[in-house]
């Protein structure tokens, strides 16, 4: 049975899936999906689900909870998962908030196994005096990169000013250096952006992102480049079929290559924060993303995988 878009998803035990603002990684023939529990009125948790087919999701465990070394963190959002082939360790990089800080820092945790106990490795601003917002990860070979929203220099407002890409250190536990900063909406007069994620296709990087609209859904936009350091193209809207001004009532989370040519090859994972904005039902949507030449096109489907024809 496919998963139904626009409904509440449940795991193989019949429990509601809570996995927002995260990432998916394919390893050893299995899809591993992490995200944070955004259910109102309970401590946060970063959850892990696994599936052989993107349909039947088994809850593995809470990888990190708001307890122990993580107890002082009020918010642990946008978790990304990395597998470090140099060290053999699994790494979670997340957006961390604490009353002692101005806005968010980047948090790091690691484990010797995917679903093992994750130890806190530390927190940092990616550069002195720059707090962060939404973030994600991009891994290419043995290298990994942090994509993040940056705030104003000097730990002050305004926040959510622009976007940046940082290379991580070889152990994936710190920022090494900045490769790019741009899309400053205060200077350009354009919309603010967050919830971003990068893929590489045919030698071109595609950087997808949502609008800066809180929990609400938004149009997905993208930019392209031949190198992560840029130059990046101007932002353009992702075409939708049928037309939708808010990505079918979702907020972009990530895009993942899941199939071969001729089948649904690219998966768009969208968050629908219906528990917060009250529009529609369900928390997650999987949609096919295809390319018309070099242009990404997001198509509505009532279920995943899409019905033939």
pLDDT in tens, 59-71: 999 999 999 999 9
Fold of 9-182: Tachylectin-2; Chain A (2.115.10)
The pTM of this model reads 0.97
Residues contacting 231, CB < 8 A, separation 6+: 225
Q: What is the DSSP string of 74-130?
A: SEEEEEEEEE-TTT--EEEEEEEE-TTSSSEEEEEEEESSTTSPPEEEEEE-SBTTB
Task: Confirm if 209 and 252 have CB atoms less than 8 A apart.
Answer: yes
Q: For residue 306, which of 290, 295, 292, 293 has the smallest C-alpha distance? A: 290
Label residue 71 exposed, middle or buried (CB < 10 Å: 0-12, 13-18, 19+).
Answer: exposed
Element (H, E) at 187: helix 185-188
Identify the segments of the chain with pLDDT beneath 50. Answer: none
Report domain extents, the chain.
9-182, 190-309
How far is Cα 168 from Cα 143, in angstroms, rounded to an integer? 7
How far is Cα 95 from Cα 135, in angstroms, rounded to an integer? 7
pLDDT in tens, 254-278: 999 998 766 679 999 999 999 889 9
Superfamily of domain 190-309 in CATH is: Glycosyl hydrolase domain; family 43 (2.115.10.20)
How far is Cα 236 from Cα 123, in angstroms, rounded to an integer? 34
| Alpha helix segments (H runs only) across 191-289 | 274-277
Q: What percent of the chain has pLDDT over 90?
A: 93
Q: Please report the pLDDT score of residue 31 as a whole number.
A: 97
Element (H, E) at 188: helix 185-188
Task: Confirm if 270 and 284 have CB atoms less than 8 A apart.
Answer: yes
Q: Please report the pLDDT score of residue 262 as a whole number.
A: 63
Q: Please report the pLDDT score of residue 40 as a whole number.
A: 76
């Amino acid at each position: 049975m496919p998963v139904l878009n626009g409904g509440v998803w449940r795991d193989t035990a019949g429990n509601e899936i809570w996995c927002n603002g995260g990432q998916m990684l394919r390893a050893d023939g299995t899809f591993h999906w992490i995200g944070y529990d955004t259910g109102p009125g309970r401590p946060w948790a970063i959850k892990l689900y696994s599936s052989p087919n993107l349909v039947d999701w088994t809850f593995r465990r809470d990888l990190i909870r708001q307890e122990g070394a993580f107890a002082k963190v009020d918010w642990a959002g946008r978790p990304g998962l990395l597998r470090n082939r140099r060290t053999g360790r699994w790494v979670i990089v997340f957006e961390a908030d604490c009353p002692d800080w101005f806005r968010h820092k980047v948090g790091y945790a690691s484990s010797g196994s995917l679903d093992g106990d994750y130890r806190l490795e530390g927190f940092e601003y990616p550069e002195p005096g720059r707090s962060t917002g939404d973030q994600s990860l991009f891994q290419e070979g043995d290298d990994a990169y942090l994509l993040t929203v940056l705030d104003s220099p000097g730990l002050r407002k305004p926040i959510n000013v622009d976007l940046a890409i940082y290379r991580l250190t070889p152990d994936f536990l710190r920022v090494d250096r900045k490769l790019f900063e741009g899309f400053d909406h205060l200077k350009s007069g354009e919309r603010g952006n967050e919830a971003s994620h990068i893929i590489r296709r045919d030698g071109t990087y595609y950087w997808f992102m949502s609008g800066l609209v809180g929990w609400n859904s938004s149009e997905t936009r993208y930019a392209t480049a031949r190198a992560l350091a840029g130059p990046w193209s101007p932002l353009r809207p992702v075409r939708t079929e049928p037309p939708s001004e808010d990505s079918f009532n979702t907020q972009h989370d990530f895009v993942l290559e899941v199939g071969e040519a001729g089948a649904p090859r690219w998966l768009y994972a969208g968050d629908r924060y219906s528990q917060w904005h009250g529009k529609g039902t369900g928390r997650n949507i999987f949609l096919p993303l295809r390319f018309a030449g070099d242009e990404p096109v997001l198509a509505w489907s009532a279920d995943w995988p899409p019905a033939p024809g």
